[in-house]
Amino acid sequence: MHVADPHEQRVEKTIVLSVQDATALGEQALQNIGFSREEARIIAANLVDAELCGYRALGLPRILTIAEHPRMKKARSPLKIVHETPVSALIDGGNHIGFYAVHRGTEMAIEKARTNRFALVGIHNSYMSGRNAYYLEMIARAGFVGMHLACGGPVVVPLGGMTNAFGTNPIAFGLPGDPDPMIFDMATSALNSGDVILAERLKQLLPEGAAIDASGLATRDPAAVRAGGGILPFGGHKGYGLSLTIQALCLLAGAALPQGRVQEAAFLFMVFDPGLLIPAEQFKQYLADLLECVRSTPRQPGVDEIRIPSERAFRDRARRRVEGIAFERRLYDRIKAL
């Protein structure tokens, strides 16, 4: 397989889409592969927001991955609450895609936090939830502090291993602030699985030191990673330990309930009113003061600014809402063909 180095100078044929056109493209393609109008609206909003924020691998090309996913061929059933208390809910996602099931779980967590100032919500029997910052922004803009953990089917090897044992297992936080919340969202793997899939579609190489092939040897070929290889955890033993802990905590969200397997997808939210500890407005002011202290730190030579997590995404989103979304024509054509 010939793959092009993404650092080489090359010109991509692109098409620029407005937010409205990108949304219409996504919604129509999603309805055509079997989603209802409401499901397509919720999924497309997540994907288009990822495009706006600059996360290409988590944007509209995911529709192709959704269409190819084997669970799309299985029957779906309505979301069901398996266990509930005033401050918690365990939700069976009914084999609905995570873009929809996790969105509904987020709404439930916010509703419970509004009523009881605290919520713990787990979702299982679902898959592919997209960019976790999207859900944390919903929570933070509603005035709550949120933490989200997610685990998935094995695509990441443990430290020193040759066989996949974890999902990319992200952890994300959302903190309410003015005018925008602070959002931090990271996978515990060296790459997002969406990055690998997109690199294979575009015939690009992966970064050095991020993945292995089926023989356990370092590779930059995304096809080799998907054909029996695996993604490495980030940061050696630290990323490995964090990934394992997230996989374990997501058992509380019911990861093992549908199939009895402990290496399945699940999603866990903890949401609370900052006013449980200090007045909410005082917390926002303290957070603003902290972020300003960080921004004003003396910079190393050649560094223009010290950025806060989520600031770059918010800036890019505002800019692309005006300028439009540059999209690879070959991927646009494939989505359009759906």
The confidence score (pLDDT) of residue 198 equals 86
CATH 3.30.1370.60 fits 79-189+236-295, yes or no: yes
What the block records as the tokens of 147 is 């933490």
The structure's pTM equals 0.90
Burial annotation 245-282 (CB, 10 A radius, 16+ → b, else e): ebbebbbebbbebbeeeebbbbbbbbbbbbeeeeebee
Q: Take residue 139 and report the two structure tokens written for it.
A: 């929570």
Q: Where in the chain is the domain with CATH 3.30.1370.60?
A: 79-189+236-295
Delimit the CATH 1.10.1530.10 region(s) of the chain: 8-68+307-338
**What CATH number is given for 8-68+307-338 in this structure?**
1.10.1530.10
pLDDT < 50 positions in the chain: 1-11
pLDDT attached to residue 9? 41
The reported pLDDT for the residue numbered 12 is: 57
Tell me, what's the pLDDT at 7?
43
Residues contacting 220, CB < 8 A, separation 6+? 3, 205, 206, 207, 208, 210, 211
* Phi, psi dihedral angles at 318 (to 5 degrees): -65, -40
Cβ atoms 224, 206 nearer than 8 A:
no
